[in-house]
């Protein structure tokens, strides 16, 4: 090997080492706390990197959709500015205005709960809403973590 080739190899070694460490860390076992921290980090990054979400115009009559629900139980400030409280019946939705009330029904169990939108998300394809821990309990979602649901926008109280 020529001196030039050796110098180039030595210069590239730190970058190659960093790539190998990244691959190894991706393959390593991750604890549940680590998964929660990664998920929180991804949500925070996604929320910060997106342009402000404009509230979609929704009619006051019932609007329903179907999809997957998941839940989150970690703290922090929500996109609406309030402190997240896992004990309250709240939820995250990508476009609905803050304060919108939704009736979320677990299609497998038939259980439903009314939640208030106070955050943005979910940031995982196929999911229509993320609910708080308390709402997940009401929906019988704690064991499965994800369920098929019907989501109905409730009219605003007069």
Cα of first residue to Cα of last residue in the chain, in angstroms, is 81
Instruction: For residue 85, report the phi and psi dihedrals to the nearest 5 degrees.
Output: -125, 110
* Cβ–Cβ < 8 Å for 122, 42: no
* Cβ–Cβ < 8 Å for 105, 112: yes
The alpha carbon dihedral of 89, 92, 95, 99 has a sign of: positive
Question: In angstroms, what CA-CA distances link 110 with 42, 137, 147, 149?
Answer: 31, 13, 11, 9
Taking residues 14-36, report their average pLDDT.
34
Contacts 24+ apart (CB under 8 A), 31-38: 36/73, 36/74
What band does 150 get if pLDDT is binned at 50, 70 and 90? very high
The full set of domain ranges for the chain reads 63-153
What band does 90 get if pLDDT is binned at 50, 70 and 90? very high
Topology classification of domain 63-153? Barwin-like endoglucanases (2.40.40)
Q: Which of 143, 94, 139 is nearest to 115 (CA)?
A: 139
pLDDT in tens, 34-79: 333 334 434 444 443 333 333 334 444 457 899 999 998 887 999 9
Predicted local distance difference test score (pLDDT) of residue 52: 38
Give the rounded percent of residues in the chain with a pLDDT score beyond 90: 53
Q: Judging by beta carbons within 10 Å of its beta carbon (0-12, 13-18, 19+), is residue 127 exposed, middle or buried? A: middle
| 15-29, 64-78, 101-115, range with greatest mean pLDDT | 101-115
Taking residues 25-34, report their average pLDDT.
32
Contacts of 34 (CB under 8 A, 6+ apart): none
What band does 157 get if pLDDT is binned at 50, 70 and 90? confident
Taking residues 84-100, report their average pLDDT.
96
Predicted local distance difference test score (pLDDT) of residue 62: 57
**Predicted TM-score (pTM) of this structure:** 0.60
Give the rounded percent of residues in the chain with a pLDDT score beyond 70: 61
């Amino acid at each position: 090997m020529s001196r030039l080739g050796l110098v180039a190899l030595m210069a590239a070694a730190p970058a190659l080492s960093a790539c190998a460490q990244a691959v190894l860390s991706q393959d390593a076992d991750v604890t549940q706390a680590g998964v929660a921290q990664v998920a929180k980090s991804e949500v925070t990054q996604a929320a910060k990197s997106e342009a402000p979400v404009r509230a979609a115009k929704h009619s006051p009559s019932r609007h329903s959709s179907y999809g997957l629900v998941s839940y989150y139980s970690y703290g922090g400030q929500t996109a609406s500015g309030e402190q997240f409280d896992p004990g309250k019946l709240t939820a995250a939705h990508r476009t609905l205005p803050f304060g919108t009330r939704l009736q979320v029904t677990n299609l497998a169990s038939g259980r439903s709960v009314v939640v208030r939108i106070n955050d943005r998300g979910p940031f995982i394809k196929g999911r229509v809403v993320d609910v708080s821990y308390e709402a997940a309990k009401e929906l019988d979602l704690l064991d499965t973590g994800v369920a098929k649901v019907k989501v109905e926008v409730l009219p605003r109280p007069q």
